[in-house]
Amino acid sequence: MTIPDYQSFMLPFLKILGDRNEHTLQEIYIKLADYFKLTESDRKEYLPSGKQLKYKNRIGWARTYLKKSGLLDQVGRGIFTITERGLNVLNENPEKIDVKFLEQFNEFLKFQGNKNSNTDQIGENKKLPSNLELDLSPEEILDTSYREIRRDLMDELLHTVKSCSPEFFEKLVVDLLIAMGYGGTHADAGQAIGKSGDDGIDGIIKEDKLGLGCYLYTSKKMGRFCR
């Protein structure tokens, strides 16, 4: 099966703590993965950033939301227990716990207000479809927005380079080579010596800051293609 969204983890997470005992986060990871019958492939799937396992990230956000709502306490590093409020919620036998359910608690509303004010400016023109907002954890939403903004920026830069003059493009190549570590300063590291439309050498770049060697390079801008 696919990995559940972070809200689906909330009620099972709280039920694990319902025995009033202390539970480690690592123990909860295993129990929830078993509860949802996650496959080995599911348990090895990472976020697009590659920094964290996806199911652990979603369980982590479920934990954060439950804690901010006052339903559980952290009593040690990675150790959690249920609160009286959490027990009262379980006694109500809810069908599910999700963001809408947690909005009955003032602490959670305050947390949501602070979180939203910090993220309003991130990708404000990149609203995700509502179904994706439900499926993805907050971290996944930020990562998706970041990748979309980065892709748009790359497209914009490529369009700018393609539309520039050949002379500007040849100077841009010098700047790029210097940024890659060749030469020293713009004044003495490299120079563009070719002319637009010729088929010869376009520039000279020093091998390093000491200038012990030099490279000759050519750069061509031909319509849609740059090399």
Does any domain span residue 39?
Answer: yes
More confident residue, 12 or 123: 12
Does any domain span residue 149?
Answer: no
As for how many domains the chain has, the answer is: 2
Same domain, 116 and 169: no
CATH number for the domain spanning 31: value is 1.10.10.10
Cα torsion angle, 114, 119, 124, 128, sign: negative
Are 70 and 83 spatial neighbours (Cβ–Cβ below 8 Å)? yes
Same domain, 25 and 116: yes
The values of phi and psi at residue 86, to 5°, are: -65, -40
The residues with which 221 forms a beta bridge, in sequence order, are 226
Does any domain span residue 27?
Answer: yes
Average pLDDT over residues 126-139: 55
Q: Please write down the HEC assignment for all residues of the chain.
A: CCCCCHHHHHHHHHHHHHHCCCEEHHHHHHHHHHHCCCCHHHHCCECCCCCCEHHHHHHHHHHHHHHHCCCEEEEECCEEEECHHHHHHHHCCCCCCCHHHHCCCHHHHHHHHHHHHHHCCCCCCCCCCHHHHHHCCHHHHHHHHHHHHHHHHHHHHHHHHHHCCHHHHHHHHHHHHHHCCCCCCCCCCEEECCCCCCCCCCEEEECCCCCCCEEEECCCEECCEEC
Same domain, 77 and 173: no
Give the number of other Cβ atoms within 10 Å of residue 117's Cβ: 9
- Structural domain harbouring 27: 6-120
pTM: 0.60
Does any domain span residue 13?
Answer: yes
Last residue of one domain, picked from the residues 67, 90, 120: 120
Specify the length of the chain in residues: 227
- Hey, what are 36's tokens? 């949802």
pLDDT band, very low/low/confident/very high, at 63 (cuts 50, 70, 90): very high
* pLDDT tens by residue, 146-203: 666 777 777 777 777 777 777 777 777 777 777 777 765 565 555 555 555 555 556 6
Last residue of one domain, picked from the residues 120, 146, 174: 120
Does any domain span residue 133?
Answer: no
Same domain, 176 and 106: no
Same domain, 45 and 109: yes
Does any domain span residue 151?
Answer: no
Same domain, 191 and 88: no
Does any domain span residue 160?
Answer: no
* pLDDT tens by residue, 89-123: 999 999 999 999 999 999 999 988 865 544 444 44
Does any domain span residue 153?
Answer: no
Same domain, 19 and 114: yes
pLDDT band, very low/low/confident/very high, at 4 (cuts 50, 70, 90): very high
More confident residue, 77 or 15: 15
Average pLDDT over residues 75-92: 96
Instruction: Please report the pLDDT score of residue 26 as a whole number.
Output: 96
